[in-house]
Structure 1
Amino acid sequence: MRADARKNYDQLVAVARDVVTQEGADASLRDIARRAGVGLGTMYRHFPTRETLLEALLRTSFDELTDKAAELRSADSASAALVSWLGDFVACAHNYRGVIDLMVAAIEDPGSALHTSCVTMKAAGAELLARAQAEGTARTDIDATDLYALGGALAWVGDQPALAPRVDHLFAIITGAILTTRQSPADLTA
């Protein structure tokens, strides 16, 4: 990529990260291009669809979640590792308001720009869940899809101004329902 094209790409991603964080996944692409100081044509050359732009934004966060899951696999407590990762997943999904619908759709659509990063991140969480289940500290009647759905639901709750103050409380309830031990999430993350 030419230096000027790289500069435009990096500027678009930086501005998009701020705009999508503030306004959500439906933020105006025209506004992102304007704030980045480039034309709409430049925006579409780098990101032909909204989904490709969101994939560029989310890929780094999803890769970080995948890497964190790899680190957590060697943690002493499988249940603490699972709770820690789930909390990070919820925070990541909440940082980009409105992406839950796209993430869920991307899992089912191999042609989606978000598919690979979503599937890889979901699989990383599945490994932590399976480890906790094998240890006997997580219910065996839930799977990776359930875990992904619960995390997505919590992120959605965080996007709702009237419900956002309840996210930590609901996170404790959900992790309490996933785990077979009666430790509080605070005990697991300490």
Structure 2
Amino acid sequence: MRADARKNHDHLLAVADTVIAEEGVDASLRDIARRAGVGLTTLLRHFPSREALLDTLLRARFDELADRAVALETSDSPTDALLSWLREFVACAHNYRGVTEAMMTAIEDAESALHASCVTMRAAGTRLLTRAQAEGVARTDIDGTDLFALGGSLAWLNDQPALAPRADHLFDVVTSAILTPPATTDLPTPKNPTD
């Protein structure tokens, strides 16, 4: 891509990022083009569909989440790693109001432009969950699909004006249901029956 074309592409993405963060994933493509100072045809030349635009925007964020999971895999605490990643996933999904539905649809549709990014992100979170399960600090009856769904649900809560004030509390409730107390080797000293 030529330097001027790359500059235009990046400008369109920056404007789309702002508009979609403000208005949600159903924001008007015409409005994005107008705010970028170009015609709709120019926007569509760079991004031939809404899904292509979303894919470009979200792929970068999802790839960052996947990279973040890789970095967290070596942290000392599998609990902290899982919670930190899940909180970042929820924040990313919430930043683009309405993206939760697009993610849930894309992960099931191999033809979707978002599919590969969603699968990669879910796999990254799954590895953190699996590590926490292996350490005995997370339930073993959930999998990466469950974690992805719970994260999407928590992001959706943030999108609901009536529930947004409770989102942090509900995040704590949900994560406390995922996590289990670490096993302890400190057994209480049995009482002497003669005492």
Counterpart position of 2:62: 62
CA offsets per residue over residues 8-37 of structure 1, 9 Å max, x none? 211110000000000000000000001111
When normalised by structure 2's length, the TM-score is: 0.91
Identity %: 69
- Cα shift at 1:39: 1.0
Counterpart position of 1:21: 21
Distance 1:87 1:6 in 2: 32
> Gaps spanning 5+ residues in structure 2: where?
183-195
Asked if structure 2 preserves the Cα contact closer than 8 Å seen for 1:33 and 1:43, the reply is yes
> Gaps spanning 5+ residues in structure 1: where?
183-190
CA offsets per residue over residues 127-176 of structure 1, 9 Å max, x none? 00000000010000001111001000010000011110101000000000
Counterpart position of 1:130: 130
Q: Which amino acid aligns with 2:74?
A: S
Distance 1:118 1:181 in 2: 30
Q: How does 1:1-190 map onto structure 2 within 5 Å?
A: 1-181=1-181
Distance 2:3 2:34 in 1: 20
CA offsets per residue over residues 63-102 of structure 1, 9 Å max, x none? 1111110011111111111011000000000000001111
Distance 2:8 2:72 in 1: 36
3-state SS of 1:4 partner: helix
Aligned positions, number: 182
- Cα shift at 1:7: 2.1
Q: RMSD in angstroms over aligned alpha carbons?
A: 1.0
CA offsets per residue over residues 89-119 of structure 1, 9 Å max, x none? 0000000000111101111111111011110
Distance 2:3 2:134 in 1: 50
Counterpart position of 1:185: none
3-state SS of 1:142 partner: coil
- Cα shift at 1:3: 2.9
